[in-house]
Chain A
Amino acid sequence: MRKFIKEKGVVMPLDRANVDTDFIIPKQFLKSIKRSGFGVNLFDEQRYLDKGEPDSDNSQRPLNPDFVLNQPRYQNAAILLTRDNFGCGSSREHAPWALDDYGFRAILAPSFADIFFNNCFKNGLLPIVLDRALIAGLFEEVTANAGYQLEIDLQEQSIVKPDGTSINFEVDEFCRHSLMNGLDDIGLTLEDAAAIQAFETQWRGQAPWYFTTPENS
């Protein structure tokens, strides 16, 4: 996993609440058995004027000029600013894969849906929860200033604004550590293999009915 230590980039405002994972990456792209290449279909339904399919040549498709992602001032944005309950709906990890593949590194919102929030950390993306008023303030600043950038420092847990002032944010210690070091969860868990084994043996004794199959029940 890619490390996240300090990231600076253009902020793109997506002024909607309850952005769901179908909105982030429509279902037809979930048919892929790969993990990469979803960036061109990020926000597909809003981003293009036609309907995209997994085999579409995206470079030939008509862009929706009104969608924020297509506006010149937000090209190469790395930070997504949005509203409440971002990432609700399906558990598809294709949503963070698409955001990451496009080039987003962090998402700022007043709240996130649970599974999406969790999935972000597994993919080197940093979701940051900020107070609703702070988010509203950022929306105003971003829209008023073309090229508006923020610098996110995970070590310091701070977001530095263009005027040099900063906002502090909270992040789960385990997630922070994993992101900063690009750690693989599975490797970490397998260090506890003996504990898992011991638990399993005890559990099999205590609740053997959870280990039955049609053949042995």
Chain B
Amino acid sequence: MLANRDPCTLNVFEKYMAKGIIRLCYRKIIDAASQKLWDKYVFDDTYQEFFMQAQYYNQQGKYSTFQELLDNVPNADRLHHLISSAAIGYIRQLNQLIPDIANQTGKLCLPFSQFNFEIIQSHVQKKPDHRVAISFYSDELTWIDTINTMLLIAYGQQQEALREGKAIATDLISLQPYLSISSYQPIVSHPVL
């Protein structure tokens, strides 16, 4: 089908193509210095859960840090998942909007349904050493263009609407620390018939 197309028509199609379908990933670090109430709840409750569950992998009390457990006790890496149970109630309270990352008008805007919880470090006696990260993976976004250090995006897969010349709702997201593009899917050109 592509072979039959007029080269000029092809250029018109490409002009309105987005750069690709992406997912953004925001890795939120939570530690003893965290200030927001949500962060403090996650910090307190995941530490309490770590304190409790780590005892299963440390029944002789030989180890102090999470790293020591990982290095010496089989299956201690299950603690990531076990401790995430203490955070998921709070993650569900976010109403599927990635925290902290605002659009250019200052509003939280990125929908998510996938996340990953990890213990960065912890200590069975020293709560201030506890540090966790939650990576929030946005739902699919159509990356239309880049303006300075901002991504012009639309929510969901909008390549069809763009091809058809329709106006679509967009948003501007600043690139910033701990915000990354975690997946990219090229948009394959198909002619509009």
Q: Are A and B genuine complex partners?
A: no
Which residues does A use to contact B, with CB under 8 Å?
Answer: none
